[in-house]
Structure 1
């Protein structure tokens, strides 16, 4: 059955679209809940007016998303955590903690599910993308410092000195690949010394 959606319906379309759905889905769910109307001639005429309103609302929504993306892009979130001597955290920095800190830093409330990163479990600087729905994905910088070293880190940052936390931590898969690549290089260097 062809219906005109009055609301955004997940996996079926957005408000204002004419879509073909199962008869039972339309009769038993969409139409009784005023989420859609049957696509008759009169309804299609009214659909044009609705389409204009939806397009205006969609453009306004896109502009708002772009502004939010610009505001949070490059935001730096600093966390202080206990960690082992290897740099692994006792616990982790969760998406919810990142969202809460982003709200404190920028004043923008982002749902934790929009932060597209697993919980962070290592000291260092992490680049974390945030899925907002715009063409460009904003990236926030999450810095995790060892407990008790936050003041030293901030002082070094103000003085312009490099710290051990400034190096961006790559994804775990990349780290494993780097370790495998380093072993043959070390052997090749040993052979080169033996030749001289």
Structure 2
């Protein structure tokens, strides 16, 4: 289907361009969103009579978007979510959540303006593109954390994984040289028992060495 673009569409064309698109894309997105007109002779004449007005409105809207982009650029927006110790969220953060977080800080952003390749599913600082106008985009940070305090640390670049924090408390049990990770379960259990016995024996030896002479 041929359509006349009423604004710049990324990877498609500029305002006034006549382009060919799939019928479904035109009917479900371009036409209902008033981003294009069917490329009939009548619509072409209508567009030409309104071109100057449309271009003037576009320039004004672009200027407003650029002003907002300067204020948004580099900001981080905190989103608190529950997560496991390995930073995996119990759920996800969507474009709607991000738009809401930005709006709560005094900006007007709709979900459709937030661009994510996929929902965010981990704790951390995530780059998010916000398209304020067909010709104006800005990158902000989604600061996803378990608590406001953790979010503050992440913003300062001081986040430490909880898994890393717990590593110092882990006591490793040595495996004997005969340990084979591909062995049947019974053989692995026997090897583990051998390792436990080795640890006990070493502990007993240390006690005898430190026992004072009578």
Q: Cα offset for 1:57?
A: 1.6
- Unaligned 5+ runs, structure 2: 7-14, 21-30, 32-36, 162-214
Instruction: State the 1:13 CA deviation.
Output: 1.5
Structure 2 residue aligned with 1:58: 58
Match of residue 110 from structure 2: 111
TM-score of the superposition, structure 2-length normalised?
Answer: 0.50
* 1:93 positional shift: 1.2
Q: C-alpha root-mean-square deviation of aligned residues, in Å?
A: 3.8
TM-score relative to the length of structure 1: 0.54
CA 1:139–1:49: 2 relative to 1, 3 Å: same
- Residue of structure 1 aligned with 2:4, choices 13, 16, 35: 13
Deviation at 1:114, TM superposition (A): 2.1
Who is 1:163 aligned against?
A: 158
Structure 1 residues 112 and 153 mapped into 2: Cα distance closer, same or farther (>3 Å)?
A: closer
Q: Residue 130 of structure 1 corresponds to which residue in structure 2? A: 130
d(CA) in 2 for partners of 1:161, 1:47: 51
TM alignment of 1:1-196, pairs within 5 A: 12-14=3-5, 17=16, 38=41, 50-108=50-108, 110-117=109-116, 118-146=118-146, 149-151=147-149, 153-154=151-152, 156=153, 162-164=157-159
Q: Secondary structure at the match of 2:4?
A: coil
Q: Distance in 1 between matches of 2:19 and 2:136?
A: 32
Q: How many residues align?
A: 136
| Whole-Å separation in 1 of the counterparts to 2:124 and 2:72 | 20
- Whole-Å Cα distance in 1 between the matches of residues 122 and 2 of structure 2? 37
Alpha-carbon spacing, 1:153–1:138, altered in 2? closer, same or farther (3 Å)? closer
